[in-house]
Every structure is written in structure tokens, then in C-alpha cells.
Amino acid sequence: MGRSRKRMTPNQSDQNPIDSSKSKRAKEAEPEEELLNQQKRRTQKNKPDSELSLVGPPVPASEALKRWPSRYSNSTKVSSAKKKGTVQSLEGGSKEEGEVLQAKCHYTKAMVDGCVYNLGDSAYVKADEGDLDYIARIVELFESTDGEPYFTAQWFYRAKDTVIKDHEDLIDKKRVFLSDIKDDNPLNCIVSKIKIAKVGANINLEAKEKKIPPCDLYYDMKYSLPYLTFSNIINETNGGDNDTSSTISSESDSNNVPVVPVMRLLDLYSGCGAMSTGLCIGASLSGVKLVTSWAVDINPHACKSLKKNHPETQVRNEAAEDFLSLLKEWPILCKKYAQGKELDQSPDLVIEEEGEEEEEEEEGEEKGEEKENDNDEDSSVSDGEFEVEKLLAICYGDPNKAKKSGVYFKVRWMGYGPKYDTWEPIDGLSDCQEKVKEFVTKGYRSNILPFPGDVDVICGGPPCQGISGFNRFRNPEAPLEDMKNRQLVVYMNIIDYLKPKYVLMENVVDILKFAGGFLGRYAIGRLVSMNYQARLGMMAAGSYGLPQFRMRVFLWGAQPLKKLPQYPLPTHGDKGKGGVPNEFEEITVAYDKNQPCELEKALSLGDAISDLPQVNNDAKEDERTYGTTARTEFQKFIRLKRNNVVSLATAQIASHPGLLYDHRPLELNVDDFERVCHIPKKKGANFRDLAGVLVGDDNKVKWDPSVERVLLKSGKPLVPDYAMTYVRGTSPKPFGRLWWDEIVNTVVTRAEPHNQIIIHPLQDRVLTVRENARLQGFPDCYQLFGPIKERYIQVGNAVAVPVGIALGYTFGLACQGLSDDQPLTKLPFKFPNCLSQLSSALVVDVDDSD
């Protein structure tokens, strides 16, 4: 977002391994010198000096000066990376300055309690009474100018000292995480020597376990406070792999022209496909061809919208847990049926998708067509017998509601049409083995389902409705026992099974607010337990070119040898504000305070929708002409024809380039429409402007005793009681009218004006589906399907398209090995200009002439 803020230092975070038992507030209040004093008080005071010493000859002065120049500097001011008694800042940019503990000489060995410690050895370091001792690597041994022996510790984190916290049970008890944090400590802080082994990164847990040598602890990642990052230890390895040189290596055609690498994406809880659409566009802008090969959602209308806009995608309308069960059954079926030479034949044969069959049936009914083979008399099958013509689809679950879950095939019966198709259990098709083999073989060749290792990217936002503020029965003690939150577990289980190279999870900010961020911590803990690198951040849609605030959480995951994608810095200023949990405030993607940045002007409602034609409350047309020209740059690019939009141009679908889709509102009932007509057409207007309502000095509404209550034509009150009592009478939202220079805080899934500001500035109706879609960054060519309320749901549940584009771009850089190890990066483009495959000068406005 456009705002800036002070960047956290480790001793202000609850993830600081030096002082993990204290509250964040207490740590912020403690001066740095006091931290050192506390540390000294924690040492073993009864340990006589004779039991500890720096041993052996000192490091030659010339070598010591070269290796540790700040220890022998005449200047007393150096960077805080070596500040006395403090930890270093992990964030790039400007650093504070402070004193460096000056040295008389350096050593390579020390003795504590009769045990010799060398540079590079690891040790337990004394903690407060009752706390587990800290874990450190000894990276420096020196005698201070006042004759005291010191060591510099590079600290390790236990899982419970990181953002994972109470989910430490997910992580091997012997596994720790290296940090970049170093500080100076009196030598008598050392308790005992331990052996910490470095283990090579490996996504295969079994293979990794076999390579762990005898040791007390081991580490394979480091943990950094900025954006709560678990990542590869670059300076101890050869660096991250990149995908364009491995499994998706960029080949050349016969003319030696490089072929753009193709990566396959699985969109879970896909909705209408906004997140994957944005990611694919962004990846394309980086030079990577990312294709949504598979998508899964339980909402049939959302699935239809996705399929219509992305016909190349295998779209599955089913529960995610059933999808996972089918994924596990599919390799078994393929091994049994899809063996032999037929797998090497041409893959032209494809599975007929369930949705296509249903559409065929619907179209036939609309036209009054009768299928010739729908008549039993034309069938050669004897009475009481049915013959399988072909198998159309496969699923796992209980499609017949018979309380019997398992593998089912959708059957087209010989002599019958689509309306007689049925789901049959695989056990009931024992006499149709050839049909099963034919289906499985075709499905195998067509990649209708992925095998483990087939998926390059999994994205999705598992619903966690159990944390919603509207849920009166939330369980803060055990959120995962609430079935409404179980999809987070299913999402992680699918990742565990398929083992994609990259993961991107999206969710509401409440995942970090509710129960101390229990679910967010679980998510990152699961990824790390599966040996994925991980990074956590929050992004606001308004910061990337939309007139909507919409803060959301994004969790990146990457296999151990891959580059962990960065977060894209904001491109636009924003007008929004929203609740961000204090504990996680520093993972908001933003420029640092005082960091120079040039941001585009924040967008407002008028920038996005002022060009759209007027429609009435009762409008029913799904398609209409624009009738106007674009008035802003945003409108010019959001109107792009499909064949000019990056990534969408390759989808061969029938769409008229001059038509505007889904520009129709939810039709208000008679009473609500009459109420809306009474709301003044001015900025800030709402139910408080209606007759009989007064607003007190405390901002609470009350009835005007001098005005008789106004009634509607139906006899119901003009001002409903619920408007007066909403949020104890303090909210201006009921029947609120938007204005051109404002933004929408968050596009939601409902369009009723009872408790939200959603009325059009100048028209007596709520915002249309298309207007909401523009606020989410959908190109106008992206068509939605289903009942009107379902379309609002699809738009409201979507990940804002420009946010997806920005993340897709940083993903593309990472998988090509083009990004560095910093958590943030700048974008070379802005939305919506980036949608165009053409230069800005060549973009022609869509109007009635098309």
C-alpha cells in the first residue's frame, strides 16, 4: 500500500529467541542496555573465573583486524549489526548506529567448565530461571578492552520461538532454525556444548531423515523476522534452483527461438478463477507461461464461470476432500487399466466433461429438441437390461446420496440421452471393464487428474468460516475442531500429497486475528513441516490500482531448492484503512518509513465505473452495448477485448468484443427500492437523511419525536428498525450511497443495502455485478454465470485480479531464478495497463462501433 511505517527490529518481536518469554510491549519498552544487563544477570554467577578462559595463542593482530575491523576501530559509532548487547536488524535499508564492544584481542578457542569450545561450535546458553536454555553457534571469541572474556552468538530458533508458536508439535523436536541475529555475551553464559548438524534440504521427508547424522539438533533452513520467512541458507549452499533449467527447461524450436517454459497450476477453492487468472497474467509478464490445468470448487455456478472463461482447464465441481480421495485412487486405476502401448499413442482423445453434457441437455430442452435415441423402442437392449455406451466422468464421494462413498463413474446408457445419465459405483461396472479401461486410458493421456509431482503451483483460499465475526459459535480454544475451519487442513493435505513446487495461499486477515493467529500459524507450520520454505505477508488491493481497500493475507511456499517468491511493493497510493492485527502489522507489504517511492494516484469509484451505461433496478439483460466511451485510463484498459488481454487471448471462446456483460443489479424488493429512491443523491447520504431520524452528539441515531413516522406505500416504515439499531445506532452504513471520489472498503458477496454502503451515486439501485467486478479488477470480457446472487458471490469471494497479477509476476521471477533473497521487490508495470498485449498507444476503446 502507499503508506509507510517503521520497520520492526527483532527485539520488538515476539519471535526474538533472546527474550521469547516476555511480552511484545515489555520488550519495546526496554532500553537496549537493559537487555544486556538482564543477560549478564542470567549468567552463572557462582562459576569461578578459573572455570572459564580464552585459551591458546591469540589470533595475530593483523588477521584479527582484517576479520573483525569494527572491534579495533577508533570510531565508537558503527552499524547496529554489531551493537553491544543487542540484535541486528534483518531488514535492508538504513541502520541505526551504536557502540561496538571493543576488543583487546581475539581467540579461536575457549574453555568453560573444563570443556573446550572452538569457533563454529554450538552451545546451550543460559536462559531465565524455568526457561529452556537458548541455542547458539559461537562465531567470535574475544577479550574486551576491560579484560572480560566474550563470545558472539549466532542464534538458533526453536519452532515455538518462531511464528509457528503453539504448533511446535508439527515440527521435529530436534529441528531448529538458524537466524541472522548475532550479539555479544559474557563467556560465562555458556552452559554446555551441543552438536548441531546441517542437513541438506529435501522435500522427501523419508530421504531427509536418512541423511540426518547422529546429533543433538539439526537445521536445514533459516528463519528471518521480515515477513516471517523460513528459507534456504544461501550462504552455505550453492543457492536456489530455478525451474527453467530443470523440469520445465526452456527448449528451442527448429529456428533456435527459445520456447517459453510452461508451468501447470491447480486452483483449489477456485471460485470463478480470479486468483489463477491473475497469477497466469502476471507470470506471462515475467516471461513464464503458467496455465491453469486443473481447478476445483464446490459451487457449480462458479465452476461454470471458470470453465467458460478458461475452456482449457479441467474444472471439477466437487468438495476438496473428495478431490483428494480421488487423487489417491487415480494412480491405482491408471496402473490397473492404463498400461501398454496405448499410452504412447496420440492424445487426441479427451474425456467429455460433465459440464459440456449438461449444457448439451439444457440447449436441447431450450430448443425443444428430442433426441432420437432417447426412445426405449430404438434400443437393442432387452427389457430390464441396460448397456453402457460410454463413461463420461469420474468422481469420489456419494453422488447418489446413498451414504456410500467411493469411486463413481458417470454413465451414458446405450439408447438414452444425457438426462438419463447416472453415477454408478465402480464395483457395479464389473461387466464393463473395457469401458472403464477406455475411460481411464483417455483420462491418463488427457491429464484429467494430476499425479504427485505433476503440479508446479497450487493456489487457493481455503474457507475458514469458523473465524468469521458473524459466527456466534466460534471456538477460540480449538479452532481446528470447528468443521467450518477444516478446509485449511484439507488444503494442506492436498499439498502434502501432490507436492507442488510452489504454493500460494490467500485468506482473510482474521486468520491472523482470531485466537492469536492460531490458523495462520498452523498454515505456516504445516508448510515448514513438509520442508517447504515459507513467507507470510498482507497486501491491500487498493495499493495495486483498485478503488477498494481489501486487505488479505498471502502465504508463499516453495520447495527447498526453489527460489522463494517475493512480495510486490505497492504501485498506487490508497485511501483505505482496515484492521490489521498489531502482532502482525510488520508483515504488511509497504515501503519503509522515509523510503523514497513514486506511487500512482489512488483510484476512486469514479475512475472505475463512471463510463458504464445507466441501468434500472429491474434490469435483466446479461449483455448490452456500452453506449459510451471510456473516460479514464482505467476504463480504457479494463474494456480490452479478450484477444488483446494477456493470457486470456489464447482461450478460444465465443464472445462478442463490443458487448458489456453482467451489468445488471440485484433487483431490490418494492419496499427497499422505495427507500433507496428517498436517499439523497449527494456524498455521504444514507438512512440518516430520511425523515424522522436525528443524530445525537454521540453519533447515535434516535427518533425525532416531532415527526410522525413515515410509512411506505406498503404500510411498512420508511426507516426500518434494524437501521436504527445496527451497531447500536452508530453506523451510517444502512442504505448508504457511494460517491465518485470514494472507495469501497471491501467488495462483499451480498448486494442488499441493509447494512452496507452499496447504492450507486446517481442511480436508485445497488452496484451491478459488473461494477463490483471492476472494483475487483476483472476485465470486462470476463463473463460470469449463474443466478444474479451467485454472481455477486463469485465476485465477492474473488482475489482481486491486480493483486494476483502482481504476485504472478514475482512468482515468475522466482521460478526463473531472477529474484534476490529480499522479501520485497518493485513491479515494472501498473494495473490495468499491464493487461494489454499491445502498447498503450495502440489500445482502442471498445464502444458500439465494434
Confirm if 273 and 310 have CB atoms less than 8 A apart.
yes
Contacts of 451 (CB under 8 A, 6+ apart): 330, 331
d(CA 832, CA 774): 11
Pick from 468, 462, 460, 801: which is nearest to 645 by CA? 801
CA separation, residue 332 to residues 326, 647, 787 (Å): 10, 35, 39
Confirm if 296 and 307 have CB atoms less than 8 A apart.
no
d(CA 457, CA 283): 12
Q: Which helix (H) or strand (E) holds 677?
A: helix 670-678
Secondary structure (3-state) at 139: strand
Q: Tell me which amino acid residue 110 is.
A: A
Q: Tell me which amino acid residue 721 is.
A: D
Pick from 508, 478, 530: which is nearest to 269 by CA? 508
d(CA 402, CA 302): 26
d(CA 99, CA 84): 6
464 classed as catalytic:
yes
Confirm if 90 and 125 have CB atoms less than 8 A apart.
no
Residue 467 in grid coordinates: 473465524
d(CA 754, CA 747): 15
d(CA 544, CA 832): 9
Q: Which of the residues 280, 395, 432, 464 is marked catalytic?
A: 464
Secondary structure (DSSP) of 767-823: PPHHHHHHHTT--TT----SSHHHHHHHHHHSPPHHHHHHHHHHHHHHHTT---SSS
Confirm if 5 and 588 have CB atoms less than 8 A apart.
yes
CA separation, residue 463 to residues 272, 438, 485, 775 (Å): 15, 37, 7, 22
d(CA 424, CA 400): 9
Q: What sign for the dihedral angle of Cα 839, 845, 846, 848?
A: negative
Strands of the 422-425 sheet, one edge to the other: 388-397, 406-413, 422-425
Contacts of 524 (CB under 8 A, 6+ apart): 163, 164, 228, 230, 534, 536, 555
Q: Look at the block and give the residue holding cell 515455538.
A: 160
Pick from 737, 744, 750: which is nearest to 607 by CA? 744
Active site residues: 464
